[in-house]
Amino acid sequence: MSTTDKVDEVAPPQLDNLLELDPYIKPYQDEIKRRYKEYRKILNTLNTEENGLDVFTSAYTHYGMHVDCCTNEIKIKEWVPGARAVYVRGDFNNWAEKQYSLQRNEWGIWTITIPPLSDGSPAIKHGQAIKLLIETPYGELLDRLCPWSRYVQRAENSNVYHGVFYNPPDNQIYKFKNPQPKKKDRLKIYEAHVGISSWKGEVATYENFRLNVLPRIVKQGYNTVQLMAIMEHAYYASFGYQVTSFFAASSRYGTPEELKALIDDAHGYGLTVLLDIVHSHACKNTFDGLNMFDGTRGCFFHDNARGYHDLWDSRCFNYMEREVMRFLLSNIRYWLEEFKFDGFRYDGVSSMLYHSHGIAHGFSGSYNEYFGLATDTDSFNYLQLANTVSQTLFPESITIAEEVSGMPTLCRPIAEGGAGFDYRLAMAIPDVWIKLLREKKDEDWNVGDLSWTLINRRWSEKNIAYSESHDQALVGDKTIAHWLFDSQIYSHMEVFSDRTPTVERGLALHKMIRLLTYALGGEGWLNFEGNEFGHPEWLDFPRQGNNNSFHYARRLFYLPEDEKLRYKYLNAWDQAMNNCEEAYKWLSAKDTFISRRHEDDKLVVFERGNQGLLFVFNFHPTKSFADYRVGCGKPGKYKIVLNSDSSAFDGLGRVDEGQVFAAEDYKWDERPYSFKVYTPCRTVLVFALTGTTA
C-alpha cells in the first residue's frame, strides 16, 4: 500500500488466520475489529490531510532548527500551542530576550527565518548554545529546549542541559560505508549500555564501544546488539528511561557522528543494531525536558491524571494529538533513517496498553483483561502506527515489545488486527529463575513446572527469551551469578582456589539455566553485557545515595580474559551456546517435543528442530545416571555437540565426548526411537544426528 493511498475506513481486519490460530479470540473479534477500524481511520486521515506517512514522518527535516543549505538562512519551526509568544536566543545574540520573535499560525505552529550574516554565513554557528524563550499564557518567560534538538549538553557546573545548534561542516559529517543487514529471523541479542562498557570509573564513549566492545560481541557469537540509554536523558542513573530530548543522541558518550560510526562498524561485522526506544513516557523535567513545554500541563501530554505515571514519576503522551503523533512517528523515522538503526526494542509497552499502566495488575490471563475497558485503545493504535512506519518505510527493520501481560495479537500482523511487533520479551522467565533460587532447595525444584513455564507462550507470536537482563543486574536485585555464588564470587573464582560446593554448584547451574532458557524459552535469545561470564558486580549508577560513585557503573571485561579466573569458562560456555545455535538453528525451529520431565530424577529431555537435536538436562544435585534411556524422533547415530561437564567449561569431565550413540528402534517416552546415555548430576548434554551439520 502506498503511504498516500486512501484507506477504506470500513475494511475489517483479516481474522480468519488469527481465529484459526487461537479460537479463544472469537468472542472478542468485535473489539479487535473496532480498534482496527480506529487505526484505519487515523491512517486515512494522515493520508488525506498530511499527504501520507512518508511526508508526515519527515517532519524532523523541517521542524526544529535547520540551516537552508542554499541561502544559509536559519529556519525555526516549533509547535507551542499554549504560548502567548515565542522567541529564540542563545550565544549568537548574547542571550538577548526578545530580539528574535517567532510568528504563530492557527494550529499553534511558530516559525521564524533568521537571515545570514553580512559575510553570508549562518547567524547561529555550529556548537553554540541555544534555547527557546516561551511566554506562557500567564505572562511568565520560560527557557525551554527545542524538542527536536539533535544535540544537547549539560551546562558547566549545572545538572541542566542546554540546546546545542548542531550544524557540523560537511567534512565532519559521518558517511556510512557498510550496507545494513537483512532482517534476521534468529536474533541473538547482546543488550548493552555504552556508558558502562569500560572497566574504568567513568562514562565510557561511543568510540570505546566501537573499538573494544563490538569485536567482543562478534567473537561471542551474537548477531544483534541492542543499545540502551542512547536517547538523551538528563539523569544518568535513570538508565536512559527518563528521556528529556528524544531526537538527541546522548552527548555524555560523544557526538552523533561517533554514534553513526559505531553503528556502521557494527554493520560491517554483520550485526543488526537495535535502539532501546522510549515512547511509553517522558521525563518530568521542565527546563530540559518536554514537561510544561508551553507553560501548560498539556501540550505533548494529557492535561489530567491520565498524563501522569505515578510509579515512574513521569509524563504520559497524548498519542492521538496530531502534533504529538507527528513528533513521535517522526522520531521513529529519524533513528532509522539518520543513524541507520535496524529496529527497536520498545520500552514499557505494558504500561502503554492499560489505563492502569499495569500497576497492581496481576494479569490472570483472562481475555477480558486484554479486550475490555482496561485497555487503552489510543496507545494500541499508536503502536500499530509506529509499526506501520517501520514496516512501510523500512521493511527490513525489527520491533520488539517489552510487554509482560501477554496481550494476544501484540505480535500478529496489523492486517489481522494485531499491533505488528515481530517479538515480545519473555519477561516472566527471569522471575521464575529468581523465585527458584531464592525460595526452593535444589531437590525441590519442579522440573515439570519449570519446563512448562518456558514453553507456555503464544506459539503464533515470537518471544525473545532471557534468563536475566539489565533489570536483574541493577543494585537492589541480584543476578543469577550472585544468587548462585554469593560472596564466593569474590573469593573463590581463581582456578587455583578450592572448588567449594557453592562454586561447583554455581558453575554447573549457571550454564544449565542459561541453556535451558535459550533452548526452550523463545524464538530469540538475549543477554545483558557481562552476565555471559557471571559478572561479579551489580550495576549502580553514580547518584547521591552512593556519593556519585562510578565504581559499579562499569563492566569488568578483563575478567574472562584472565587465565587464572573461572569467569573464562562461563564466557566460553556462552560462546559455545551461540555457536551451537548457529550450527543447528533451533531458534527458528517450529517443532519442540518434551519427551521427559521426571520429578524424582530431575531430568528434562526434549528435541527442538528437524535436525535430530536432543537436549538432556539433569538437574539432580547428587544423582548421576548410567545407561539412562532417552527417546528421540529420528533413527541414526547421535554425537555429543555440547557438554556442560567438559573441562573446557570447568566441568568435571565425566562424559566421553567421542562416544557415538546408535538410536534403536525402541519406543520410549512417546518417541519412536531411543538410546542410552550417561547423564551426570547437574549437567546438560546436547546430541545431534551425525552428518546433519557442524
Q: Which three cell numbers stand for residue 461?
A: 507470536
398-404-409 Cα angle (round to 5): 60
Q: What is the grid cell recorded at 677?
A: 546415555
Task: Quick: pLDDT tens for 666-679.
Answer: 999 999 999 999 99
Q: Is 600 exposed, middle or buried (0-12, 13-18, 19+ CB in 10 A)?
A: exposed
pLDDT digits (tens, 9 = 90+) for 582-604: 999 999 998 999 999 999 999 99
pLDDT band at residue 8 using 50, 70 and 90 as cut-offs? low
- What's the pLDDT score for residue 389? 98
Beta bridge partners of 138: none
Torsion of CA 564, 570, 573, 577, to 10 degrees: -150
Query: Does pLDDT of 431 surpass 80?
Result: yes
Average pLDDT over residues 546-563: 95
Question: Is the pLDDT score of 12 beyond 60?
Answer: yes
Question: Could you list the active site residues?
Answer: 347, 402
- DSSP assignment letter at 477: B
| Helix, strand, coil abundance in the chain, percent, nearest 5 | 30, 25, 45
Closest to 534 (Cα-Cα) out of 498, 501, 492, 566: 566
In terms of Cα–Cα distance, which of 281, 343, 288 is closest to 312? 281
Distance of CA 600 to the CA centre of its chain: 38
Mean pLDDT, range 300-316, rounded to an integer: 97
Instruction: List, in sequence order, every beta strand (DSSP E) within 635-682.
Output: 636-643, 660-663, 673-679
SS3 of residue 619 by DSSP: coil
Q: Which three cell numbers stand for residue 574?
A: 556462552
Which secondary structure element, helix H or strand E, spans residue 392, and what is its range? helix 377-393
Count of C-beta atoms within a 10 Å radius of residue 479 = 27
pLDDT number for residue 365:
79
Secondary structure (3-state) at 35: helix
Q: What is residue 10's predicted lDDT score, i.e. its pLDDT?
A: 56
Q: Which helix (H) or strand (E) holds 451?
A: helix 447-455
Task: Let me know: does 426 contact 385? Beta carbons within 8 Å.
Answer: no
Compute the distance between CA of residue 554 and CA of residue 552 in angstroms, rounded to an integer. 6
Q: 1: pLDDT confidence band, cut at 50, 70 and 90?
A: very low
pLDDT tier, 2 (very low <50, low <70, confident <90, very high otherwise): very low
- State the average pLDDT for the chain: 95
DSSP for 540-595, please give it: ----GGGTT--TTSS--TTGGG-TTBTHHHHHHHHHHHHHHHHHH-GGG-S-EEEE
Whole-number Å distance between alpha carbons of 354 and 542: 33
The pLDDT, as a whole number, for residue 693 is 61
Least confident of 6-15, 90-99, 134-143, 345-354: 6-15
CA separation for the pair 448, 429 (Å, rounded): 14
pLDDT tens column, 514-524: 999 999 999 99
The predicted pLDDT at position 207 comes to 98
d(CA 586, CA 518): 9
167-176 long-range contacts (CB < 8 A, ≥24 apart) are 167/67, 167/122, 167/124, 167/125, 167/126, 168/126, 168/257, 169/126, 172/257, 173/257, 174/257, 174/258, 174/260, 174/261, 174/264, 176/260, 176/264, 176/267, 176/340
650 conformational bin, left if phi > 0, alpha if psi -120 to 50, beta if neither: left
Q: What is the pLDDT of residues 432-452, one digit of tens each?
A: 999 999 999 999 999 999 999
pLDDT score, position 209: 98
Residue that has been written with the C-alpha cell 520560560 in this structure: 142
Q: For residue 498, report the phi and psi dihedrals to the nearest 5 degrees.
A: -60, 135
pLDDT at 178: 98
Task: Compute the average pLDDT of residues 387-405.
Answer: 97
CB 392 within 8 A of CB 1: yes
Exposed / middle / buried, residue 299 (Cβ in 10 Å: 0-12, 13-18, 19+): buried
List helix spans (H) across 167-308. Answer: 206-208, 214-219, 256-268
- The C-alpha atoms of residue 33 and residue 39 are separated, in whole angstroms, by 10
The percent of residues above 90 in pLDDT, for the chain, comes to 91
Q: For 369-395, how does the pLDDT look when each residue is reduced to its tens digit (9 = 90+)?
A: 999 999 999 999 999 999 999 999 999
* Length, in residues, of the chain: 694
Per-residue pLDDT, averaged over 6-13, amounts to 63
Residue 424, burial from CB neighbour count under 10 angstroms (0-12, 13-18, 19+): buried
Please state, in angstroms and rounded to a whole number, the distance separating the CA atoms of residues 643 and 552. Answer: 33
Q: Give one word for 411, left, alpha or beta, with left for phi > 0 and alpha for psi -120 to 50.
A: alpha
- As a whole number of angstroms, the distance between CA 490 and CA 503 comes to 11
Question: What is the number of other CB atoms lying within 10 angstroms of the CB of residue 318?
Answer: 19
Distance CA 599, CA 604 (A): 9
What phi and psi, each to the nearest 5 degrees, are found at residue 370? -85, -30
